A and B are shown apart, each in its own frame.
Chain A
Amino acid sequence: MSAPVLEAEDLGVRLYPSAGAVHAVNGVSWSLRPGRTLAIVGESGSGKTVMSLAPLGLLPPGVSSDVTGSLKFEGRELVGTPDEERARVRGAGIGFIFQDPLSSFNPMRRVGSQVDEPALIHEGLSRRAARERAVELLSMVGLSDARRRIDMYPHELSGGMRQRAMIAMALAASPKVIIADEPTTALDATVQAQILELLMELRERLGMALLLITHDIGVVAGMADDVAVMYAGRIVEHGPARAVLKHPDHPYTRGLLASVPPPDALPGTRFRGLPGTPPDLMAVTAGCPFRERCAYAIEPCATRRPPLEPVTVSRDQRSACHVHPLVVEHDQPAEVAP
């Protein structure tokens, strides 16, 4: 198996708003190999976005944060690295796709100049060659009539076209990893399908790794090889996407999956979901952060934090739960095909 291109180990992020500290991410570990897709799934406040932005120095200015642990790109440590060095690694190796394409573009400059900017910086191309490269990139992401659109301003493009242009921007420096933060949340369903198709195809063709941050289980089901489910700043379940989605172990994963109306639901039937709301990340408590919303909670859940431990024989699927409902239900570790 090839070496991971991006690897997090015991990663932690604290944010400091005006008062107190938010333990946004706590002891998170994962690795991403070339050509694979790892989906980070979680709801708002789960820390999924902060986890991927903070170590790379990409939090909005004015947010002070404290990153601990390690995040390595091709073996090079990014946590605690000087900003300049980090920006170099980031620019050459990691491409970003954000949720809102409009706010990621400079509204005052033409699309073309923004797409070929990274190319100019990293490859020392001439102005003309850079423009050719931009047209090539825009065509590659399926932006029809790229030669004309390259001279448009961001607001003149539709949401889907902007998202394509942003993907082109992310691809400009031929990155090894693409980090996509809710890349289709702001888009309509039919456009979302187009963009996901495009991402799959590009990953295949260019052999990139994809770190996909999303709250949409459907997107995970279609795209991801592996999935890490985050709750209150921690990974609560981690494993091959098929195994986790088909046979979830952690009660939160189970609740999250149950919240998505199944295709065979009967109209007029009640919805299944989770009671309560996510915990306050300002207060650090002992025990399992999910216990107050958990139907399986037992006594140790209040005092001892469950470790992320294997639940299957193949040891690929790991879950942080004292109860392990999956194991209990099957009376033995479930057999899950890889």
Chain B
Amino acid sequence: MSAGHLVIESLTVKFPVQGKGTLTAVDDVSLALAPGEILGLVGESGCGKSTLARAVVGLERPAQGRILLDGDDLTQLKGSRRRQLRRRVQLVFQDPESSLSPRLTIGQTLQEPLQIMGMSDRVARAARAAELLEMVGLPSHFASRSPGALSGGQRQRVGIARALASEPDVLVCDEPVSALDVSVRAQIMNVLLDLRADLGVGCLFIAHDLGLVHQACDRIAVMYLGSIVEIGPSDALYRAPEHPYSTALLSAVPVADPDLERSRSRVILTGEVASPIDLPSGCRFRTRCPIGQQRCADDAPSLRPAGAGSAACHFPGQMRVELAQQTATG
């Protein structure tokens, strides 16, 4: 079996909310990440995508479910075996500012994981740190700099280099470029693509920018209110979304071409996202869904094959067809 097969099974993460019961941030999510695959996870703020990321790396304790890495359940491990296996799944943080210790130089930051893993030879550590810097496209003399002397993009490269120190099979990237300038984003995205090509590192890539996710990922999963509503091959989902929420999300993202941007129709969602503390009956998107019907309130749709992927909707593809008609007539 090739290394780095990550399987998330029925993962649920809950938080107690003072005086209001429990908030279900991630609700029974199952996902599989093949070795070397880049899987995009998109959704709006509060949909639980960051919580899912943190649960996968072990920063949040799941209420139930399993996280299997090549067959080993990471949630059940203890002690040194847990520490060892956990190293194979690393997190790249959103904010490059707060994810580097202000007290350490870049070199110290990169050497620390090596020290923790027991590499005691100072010279070997420094050499490995230089190698890590090179992997993310930074010159090795950056090792002596402090984080304050680096730009946001450079800091994010260091964040990635640190995650690579333990030679992980999977990188979980939580909005790694949202805090960066548009022109710098491409540089970081290319670093991730190169790492996959060179080292075979798989990636759970969390973002809200669908254009970015489309180009970077093999598959895309769309999350709404704690659960996956659609998952499928990147291009297919981008061009022909089956779930009405995916359709709305894609139609809402502005494109840079003024002619295209002004001629197309949008699904403008009304209403508010339902509360994750008190979920609605049936389909959780129905409170905002333009094509919702009685059946959606009675019966919660599960993920079923639709188009090239799967969608959790009783009427897959219908929203897309309606939107296309609108665009054609309007």
The interface of chain A, by Cβ under 8 A from chain B, is 43-44, 158-159, 188-194, 196-197, 215-222, 241-242, 245-246, 255-263, 265-275, 277-278
**Assembly CA distance A191 to B271 (angstroms):** 10
**A-B pairs with lowest CB-CB distance, top 8:** A273-B186, A218-B254, A271-B186, A188-B44, A193-B252, A274-B183, A43-B181, A267-B234
**Assembly CA distance A106 to B98 (angstroms):** 28
The interface of chain B, by Cβ under 8 A from chain A, is 38, 44-45, 151, 153-154, 181-187, 189-190, 193, 208, 210-212, 214-218, 233-235, 248-249, 251-262, 266, 268-269, 272
Q: Is the CB of A267 within 8 A of B252?
A: no
Which residues of chain A are near B153, meaning CB under 8 Å? 277
Residue in A190, A196, A215 whose CB lies within 8 Å of B181:
A215
Q: Is the CB of B186 within 8 A of A267?
A: no
Q: Is the CB of B268 within 8 A of A189?
A: no
Q: Is the CB of B184 within 8 A of A273?
A: yes
Q: Is the CB of A259 within 8 A of B261?
A: no
Which residues of chain A are near B212, meaning CB under 8 Å? 261
Which residues of chain A are near B151, meaning CB under 8 Å? 277
Which residues of chain B are near A259, meaning CB under 8 Å? 182-183, 185-186
**Assembly CA distance A266 to B266 (angstroms):** 23
Known pairs A263-B260, A266-B235. 16 more at Cβ < 8 A?
A: A43-B182, A189-B249, A189-B253, A190-B249, A194-B268, A197-B266, A218-B254, A259-B182, A259-B185, A263-B257, A267-B216, A271-B187, A271-B193, A271-B216, A272-B186, A277-B153
19 contacts between A and B (CB under 8 A): A189-B208, A192-B252, A197-B268, A218-B253, A218-B254, A222-B258, A245-B258, A255-B183, A256-B183, A259-B183, A259-B185, A259-B186, A260-B182, A263-B260, A267-B233, A268-B218, A273-B182, A277-B154, A278-B181
Which residues of chain A are near B38, meaning CB under 8 Å? 268
Chain A CB count within 10 A is highest, among B183, B218, B252, for: B183
Q: Is the CB of A245 within 8 A of B186?
A: no
Q: Is the CB of B258 within 8 A of A271?
A: no
Q: Is the CB of B266 within 8 A of A193?
A: yes
Chain B CB count within 10 A is highest, among A43, A191, A222, A255, for: A222
Q: Is the CB of A43 within 8 A of B183?
A: yes
**Assembly CA distance A278 to B45 (angstroms):** 29
Instruction: Specify the main secondary structure of chain B where it touches its partner.
Output: helix
Which residues of chain B are near A261, meaning CB under 8 Å? 211-212, 214-215
Chain B CB count within 10 A is highest, among A44, A262, A271, for: A271
**Assembly CA distance A189 to B224 (angstroms):** 13
Q: Is the CB of B256 within 8 A of A277?
A: no
Q: Is the CB of A263 within 8 A of B255?
A: yes
**Assembly CA distance A271 to B215 (angstroms):** 8
Q: Is the CB of A271 within 8 A of B218?
A: no
**Assembly CA distance A141 to B227 (angstroms):** 32
**Assembly CA distance A159 to B45 (angstroms):** 10
